Amino acid sequence: MKKKVILGFFASVFAYNANAVEIEFAYPYSGLFDVTYQAIMPEFEKAHPDIKVKFRATYENYEDATATILRESTSGNLPDITMQGLNRQAPLVDKGIALSLEPFIANEPDFAKDGYHEAMLSLSTFGGEVYGLPFSVSTPVGYYNMDLLASAGVSSIPSNWDEVIDACNKLEAAGHGTLYFGWNITGNWFHQALMHSQNVPMVKDGAVNMGGDAGLKTLEQMQDIMGGCNMPNYSIADGQAAFNAGTIGMMFWSTSSLGSVEAAKADFELKTAPFPGIPGVNGGTPARLPAGGNAAMLVTTSDDPERVQAAWTFLKFITSGVGAAAVAETTGYVPPNKAANDLLGDFYDANPNKLTAVNQLPLLADWFAYPGENGLAVTQVIYDYTEEIATGDADDMGDLQAEMMEEIEDLM
């Protein structure tokens, strides 16, 4: 029902020129981004009344976004523009579905002035060519209910996972719930965060790199967090609802949800802080962190030059200037370019919780997609084995690691 309401909103509010060029667009995570596009579209309409944007039904998540595009590419039903997770761009490039943006960029004399961060452009660069423009970039952060922590005698925000577990023990002793650790976030993102914390990539030399010491440390750290905090096996929705209701004191999740958390939370003081480090590794702070978020990719199959140009115009608009500023204002994502900073003004001074992710930008590292035809299946294998940790069904992480890697290697 929600999708129909939102799509109806777009269809009814934005009344375009009857002779406008129509393009089709699809994006994921309705709950995060509907409000963003509601902010962007009136500005786009004013600037480009000759372009009508038809919104397709939203993708559920990044895996769904990729699977849908792969399916639509075989049925000849691709949109003109798709939003894809930063870790899911490569398959679209490898299969020739995504178009290189280099010819379009070359025809934009002011492209450099839009100030795309080089580090962010590199996330969408393959074979020396740009195939996507980052729309939103996130890092994992900690969310803290400062009132609940204070009532349990926790005087400072934890900086590493041992301190997190100690805070859990105090919360539990005070009769409060403990935490939600988002192991089940899309794309095994928290596995990659714990691997990158050790300065070890999740994928190396074309293979999943969780079979060594860093992979074992990652699984053991997850077991320590979830078991040491007696965390229920929350679904994503239930974990976020528990934090928003004020029944648990901490949540570890993407900064992307900050806007929705601020809107939905009970009456308590919320603070965000950097993602905790692994004790004894890199001085107890993460060496690097995976760049989350998504990028706009041109996948049109139209042979109409006006439609193709219109698609590029929309793609560029939503990832620069007004579009980028709207991302920051309506979510917790970091805008993908510096041009938005002029429009944001003193925004971060007034919204310090959104500054946490900005301060972590120097740690940005690749959010890896697993290579080969079974990349999505590998994601599911890692998810399934990690759920055994969350439920307490797995005790020996060495055994779990060996079984998991055997399945992964069979798939690859």
All structural domains of the chain: 2-138+292-365 (3.40.190.10), 140-290+370-411 (3.40.190.10)
Helix runs in 265-396, H state only: 305-319, 322-330, 339-344, 347-350, 355-359, 375-391
Asked whether the predicted pLDDT for residue 114 surpasses 70, the reply is no
C-alpha 398: how far from chain center: 29
With contact defined as beta carbons under 8 Å apart, do 327 and 308 qualify?
no
Asked whether the predicted pLDDT for residue 336 surpasses 90, the reply is no
Alpha-carbon span 59 to 50, nearest angstrom: 27
Q: What angle do CA 249, 254, 259 make, to 5 degrees?
A: 80
pLDDT of residue 134: 86
Q: What angle do CA 80, 375, 213 make, to 5 degrees?
A: 135
Considering 1-5, 16-20, 220-224, the range whose residues carry the highest mean pLDDT is: 220-224
pLDDT of residue 206: 85
When pLDDT is cut at 50, 70 and 90, the band that residue 2 belongs to is very low
In terms of pLDDT, which residue wins out, 135 or 285? 285
When pLDDT is cut at 50, 70 and 90, the band that residue 344 belongs to is confident
Q: What is the mean pLDDT of the segment spanning 328-346?
A: 77
Q: What is the mean pLDDT of the segment spanning 200-222?
A: 94
When pLDDT is cut at 50, 70 and 90, the band that residue 11 belongs to is very low
pLDDT of residue 118: 67
Alpha-carbon span 261 to 246, nearest angstrom: 11
With contact defined as beta carbons under 8 Å apart, do 253 and 272 qualify?
no
Q: What angle do CA 293, 59, 132 make, to 5 degrees?
A: 45
pLDDT of residue 342: 66
pLDDT of residue 13: 44
Helix (H) or strand (E) holding 21: strand 21-26
Q: What is the mean pLDDT of the segment spanning 230-240?
A: 95
Q: Which one-letter amino acid corresponds to residue 75?
A: S
Task: Return the bridge partners of 290, or none.
Answer: 365
Using one digit for the tens of pLDDT, what is the confidence trace for 264-302?
999 999 999 999 999 999 999 999 999 888 899 999 999
When pLDDT is cut at 50, 70 and 90, the band that residue 1 belongs to is very low
Q: What is the mean pLDDT of the segment spanning 120-137?
A: 87
Asked whether the predicted pLDDT for residue 330 surpasses 90, the reply is no
Task: Return the bridge partners of 136, or none.
Answer: 294
pLDDT of residue 12: 40
With contact defined as beta carbons under 8 Å apart, do 85 and 367 qualify?
yes
- Per-residue CA distances from 46 to 41, 165, 329, 407 (Å): 9, 51, 20, 53
Q: What is the mean pLDDT of the segment spanning 28-55?
A: 93
Alpha-carbon span 148 to 248, nearest angstrom: 8
pLDDT of residue 375: 84
In terms of pLDDT, which residue wins out, 121 or 152? 152
pLDDT of residue 8: 44
Using one digit for the tens of pLDDT, what is the confidence trace for 350-388?
889 988 988 898 898 888 888 778 888 999 999 999 999
Asked whether the predicted pLDDT for residue 136 surpasses 90, the reply is no
Asked whether the predicted pLDDT for residue 120 surpasses 80, the reply is no
Measuring CA to CA, which residue among 88, 111, 86, 87 is closest to residue 101?
111
